[in-house]
């Protein structure tokens, strides 16, 4: 399906420049291990074990943010996953970086400093402009090949993602390959049976774009999260408003209510909304209320209710393909995990093609004792997953395909 070259096409004994996405949560200055390290370790291990000299690039945070830190900690976390030393140099393309690159032996791994500490990296510009930067022009001559494994950043036209493929033979790493193929499946595969999409999360705007674009490809949409409440509001229920200092609903309603209303009008028979919602009662316990019994929204709703979970379950089990975008409730709190976990369990027990993606949703799989092996693909991409679902092109993939 993809027209880019992969690691299977890479010649022997190369000095390879590899772009990963190791962007991670940072708590009190400590970089948190997460599934991105585990996934990218597959590509890094494969290259090192084949005897290539492996130089890694990645970004962390954005200038000015609390999470804009050095990649020194990332090197040791990645080393644990790869089972091999990962050297680190606090430089991207200066003399220290070049010296470290030139001193590598076969099978060695080196991580360069945060690409976003380099002035040439960040502004989004055409690949040709990025290829002409000092960053790319200085580093490229030291390498035989470029590997992009950072699918989750592939919608960004940054130097480390789009500049190097114009200067070097370029290949897709294993994460890039599997993410691209799974996430493009909804646009490119033909399914004979029912295709269902579970839609939740906090970014309603993203989800609405997906629903608008995929109406012809998806038979059933099951809604929860912020988007679900906004659709209930459009259907005439007194929910989907900000209460008590929240700022998740009213702005998104303002921006999207016309599209939501037209989706309900044109595709209402494809869209299933919650019939009950869960909230925290006075005793700090989970309580539920039927949507039709809500006269006025006076509290935050934190999950879909049990009746809704029971209604969604058979729809999933009757599906040939299920795509998940976003959580259906505040699953990090066990009291409000029933919607997200109920849906994921149904998918895991159904013999269907499935892709679970959208920010943190995939964390619920591990958190609640399920196995990633029971899902077709668990995506580590947020923005790129959304773009793939809406059929938008990914510039980082395009430059690989054109190489």
Element (H, E) at 286: strand 286-290
Question: Between 72-82 and 35-49, two packed helices, what is the crossing angle to 10 degrees?
Answer: 70
Cβ–Cβ under 8 Å, residues 233 and 253: yes
Q: What letter does residue 235 receive in the DSSP assignment?
A: T
The alpha carbon dihedral of 34, 182, 149, 126 has a sign of negative
Neighbours of 19 (CB within 10 A): 27
Report whether 59 belongs to an annotated binding site: yes
Does the annotation flag 387 for ligand binding?
no
Is 21 assigned a ligand-binding role in the annotation? yes
62 in a labelled binding site: yes
User: Does 317 appear as a known binding residue?
Assistant: no
Distance CA 144, CA 14 (A): 6
The annotation status of 339 as a binding-site residue, yes or no, is no
Q: What angle do CA 387, 116, 181 make, to 5 degrees?
A: 30
Residue 363 counted as an annotated binding residue: no
Apex 266 CA angle, 262 and 271, nearest 5? 95
Q: In what order do the strands lie in the sheet with 170-172?
A: 87-88, 109-111, 53-57, 15-19, 145-148, 170-172
Residue 360 is labelled as binding a ligand: yes
Q: How many residues does the chain have?
A: 403
- Tell me whether residue 268 is annotated as binding: no
Report whether 116 belongs to an annotated binding site: yes
Q: Is 266 annotated as a binding residue?
A: no
Distance CA 216, CA 243 (A): 35
CA 191 to chain centre: 23
375-390 as b/e: b if 16+ CB within 10 A: bebbbbbbbbbbbbbb
Is 11 annotated for ligand binding? no
Unique residue bearing structure tokens 């590899």: 18
- Which region holds residue 107: left if phi is over 0, alpha if psi is between -120 and 50, else beta? left
Kindly list the distances between the CA atom of residue 356 and the CA atoms of 24, 349, 378, in Å, as whole numbers in the listed order: 19, 14, 5
Residue 19 near residue 161 (C-beta atoms within 8 A): yes
- The annotation status of 115 as a binding-site residue, yes or no, is no
End-to-end, the C-alpha distance of the chain in Å comes to 16
- Determine the Cα–Cα distance for residues 18 and 159; give it in Å rounded to an integer: 13
| Residue 359 in marked binding region | yes
205: annotated binding-site residue?
Answer: no
Cite the annotated binding site by residue number. Answer: 21-23, 36, 59-62, 116, 156, 332, 358-361
Which residue ranges are tagged as binding site for substrate?
Answer: 21-23, 36, 59-62, 116, 156
Binding site for (2R)-3-phosphoglycerate, by residue number, is 36, 116, 156
Can you say which residues are annotated as belonging to the binding site for ATP? 332, 358-361
């Amino acid at each position: 399906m993809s027209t880019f070259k992969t690691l299977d096409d890479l010649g022997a004994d190369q000095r390879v420049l590899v772009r990963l996405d190791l962007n991670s949560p940072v708590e009190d200055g400590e970089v948190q291990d997460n599934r991105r390290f585990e996934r990218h370790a597959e590509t890094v291990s494969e290259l090192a074990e084949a005897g290539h000299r492996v130089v890694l690039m990645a970004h962390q945070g954005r200038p000015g943010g609390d999470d804009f830190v050095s990649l020194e900690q990332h090197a040791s976390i990645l080393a644990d996953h790869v089972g091999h030393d990962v050297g680190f140099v606090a430089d991207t393309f200066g003399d220290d970086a070049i010296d470290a690159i030139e001193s590598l032996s076969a099978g060695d791994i080196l991580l360069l400093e945060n690409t976003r500490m380099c002035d040439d990296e960040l502004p989004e510009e055409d690949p040709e402009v990025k290829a002409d930067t000092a960053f790319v022009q200085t580093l490229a001559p030291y390498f035989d090949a470029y590997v992009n494994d950072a699918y989750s950043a592939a919608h960004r036209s940054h130097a480390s993602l789009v500049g190097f493929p114009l200067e070097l033979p370029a290949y897709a790493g294993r994460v890039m390959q599997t993410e691209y193929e799974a996430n493009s499946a909804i646009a490119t595969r033909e399914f004979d049976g029912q295709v269902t999409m579970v839609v939740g999360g906090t970014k309603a705007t993203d989800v609405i774009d997906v629903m608008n674009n995929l109406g012809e490809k998806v038979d059933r949409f099951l809604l929860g999260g912020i988007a679900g409440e906004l659709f209930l509001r459009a259907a005439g229920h007194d929910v989907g408003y900000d209460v008590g200092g929240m700022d998740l609903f009213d702005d998104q309603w303002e921006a999207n209510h016309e599209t939501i209303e037209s989706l309900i009008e044109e595709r209402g028979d494809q869209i299933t909304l919650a019939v009950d919602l869960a909230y925290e009662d006075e005793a700090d316990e989970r309580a539920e209320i039927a949507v039709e019994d809500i006269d006025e929204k006076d509290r935050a709703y934190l999950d879909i209710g049990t009746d809704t979970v029971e209604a969604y379950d058979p729809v999933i089990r009757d599906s040939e393909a299920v795509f998940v975008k976003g959580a259906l409730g505040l699953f990090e709190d066990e009291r409000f995990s029933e919607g997200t976990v109920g849906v994921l369990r149904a998918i895991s027990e159904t013999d269907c093609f499935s892709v679970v993606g959208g920010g943190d949703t995939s964390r619920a799989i591990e958190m609640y004792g399920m196995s990633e092996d029971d899902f077709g693909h668990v995506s580590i991409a947020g923005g790129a997953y959304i773009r793939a679902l809406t059929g938008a092109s990914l510039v980082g993939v395009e430059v690989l395909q054109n190489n």
